[in-house]
Amino acid sequence: MQGCERERRDFFRRAGAASLTLGAGAAGVGNARAGTGHTWKMVTSWPKNFPGLGICANRLAALIGELSGGRIQVKVYGAGELVPAFEVFDAVAQGTAEIGHSAANYWKGKSESAQFFAGVPFGMTAQETNGWLYYGGGLELWTELYARFGLIPFPAGNTGMQMGGWFNQEIKSVADLAGLKIRMPGLGGEVFERAGSTPVNLPGSELFIALQSGVIDATEWVSPYNDLAFGLHEAAEYYYYPGFHTPGATLEAIVNRAVFEALPADLQAIVRNACKVVDQDLLAEQTARNPGALQVLLEQHGVKLRAYPDEVIAELQRLTEQVLSELARKDEFSRKVFASYRKFLRESKEWSRVSELAYLQARDLDDPA
């Protein structure tokens, strides 16, 4: 446990230093250009300065300040500092904060169709998701949905392919899912529930203790880089893949609609495009950090890496079709979003078979590893 705590402290120390550097840069620009400006509060669903997700929020805040020449200054609040992790949506809608950084699968209680904009089990990858959002009508649908709540959403980070999660027992068959208490929000949690598990929704900061103490038997979080920072390998020994539940998890920046529309056009464009920058930046960082973190988990901590058995994957896929079909029948808007998502996914599959998938298979033919 001492090694785990030291590891976590090191991560947060480095993350905090990075955050201070980013914040200092934005503040310097603001001080250099005096004049009327906007001071925003950003509330997030992530622990303050947490590697990956928390730093992504910091970078967005700093970038808005830098690109606006200090005309918008954004102060970042980690989960629990101003509002709890799962109250970000309401805080921005009510004007407690001007902007939030979170994930749409947390807002099932507001609208079940919101979950399509975070990640769909056996759905699109990060690259495909961005294609749908920016050029396939997805962002327009997302914007239409959030308009009901006085909010404007922007894609603001993608974790890429996630891991299946940490388990304190081996999963050898579908029967092993029965009675399992697993932290998994959104549609993936509904799929596990139909397999006999009990999904639990907890903020990231509570995962380690919940898993270690037996409050939950398993948890997904993100991927090796982020999971290592939380020390989840000290609380469970089996690490499963693939992350079928979120193959390309989109994070969101949500802005109070009245606040955004009161901005001049150039500042609106700065906020919009700053979100695009961090959307790509997080995916690049995750792609760079995950391989090394996985090696640390396997070689230094003896983590037992496991693939979900084919039988389990087949059953989870069958149950996913049930969940999505029922969701699409709940209301007209959900039907519209599901139809758009499914059409883009179907067309993307045809392309990926002769592009990325074909290439990866060809690349691995003579791989000495």
pLDDT for res 368: 61
Domain 2-161+247-289 identical in fold to domain 165-245+305-333: yes
What is the architecture of the domain spanning 2-161+247-289? Answer: 3-Layer(aba) Sandwich (3.40)
Question: Quick check: 155 and 139 in contact, CB under 8 A?
Answer: yes
The full set of domain ranges for the chain reads 2-161+247-289, 165-245+305-333
Residue 158: other Cβ atoms inside 10 A? 26
Q: What is the pLDDT along the chain (369 residues), one digit of tens a residue?
A: 444 444 444 544 444 444 433 443 333 333 333 346 999 999 999 999 999 999 999 999 999 999 999 999 999 999 999 999 999 999 999 999 999 999 999 999 999 999 999 999 999 999 999 999 999 999 999 999 999 999 999 999 999 999 999 999 999 999 999 999 999 999 999 999 999 999 999 999 999 999 999 999 999 999 999 999 999 999 999 999 999 999 999 999 999 999 999 999 999 999 999 999 999 999 999 999 999 999 999 999 999 999 999 999 999 999 999 999 999 999 999 999 999 999 999 999 999 999 999 999 999 987 765
For the domain spanning 165-245+305-333, the CATH number is 3.40.190.10
Distance, CA of 253 to CA of 272 (rounded, Å): 9
In Å, how far are 9, 50, 113, 165, 332 from 13, measured between CA atoms? 6, 10, 38, 25, 48
The closest alpha carbon to 141, from 116, 105, 110, belongs to 116
Whose tokens are 């989960």? That residue is: 79
pLDDT for res 229: 95
Distance, CA of 53 to CA of 59 (rounded, Å): 10
In eight-state DSSP terms, residue 169 is S
pLDDT for res 36: 66
pTM over 0.85: yes
Question: Quick check: 159 and 251 in contact, CB under 8 A?
Answer: yes
Euclidean distance between the first and the last CA atom of the chain, given in angstroms as a whole number: 33
pLDDT for res 310: 98
pLDDT for res 366: 75
pLDDT for res 367: 72
Which class for 120: exposed (0-12), middle (13-18), buried (19 or more C-beta within 10 A)? buried
Question: Quick check: 197 and 182 in contact, CB under 8 A?
Answer: yes
The closest alpha carbon to 226, from 293, 305, 161, belongs to 293
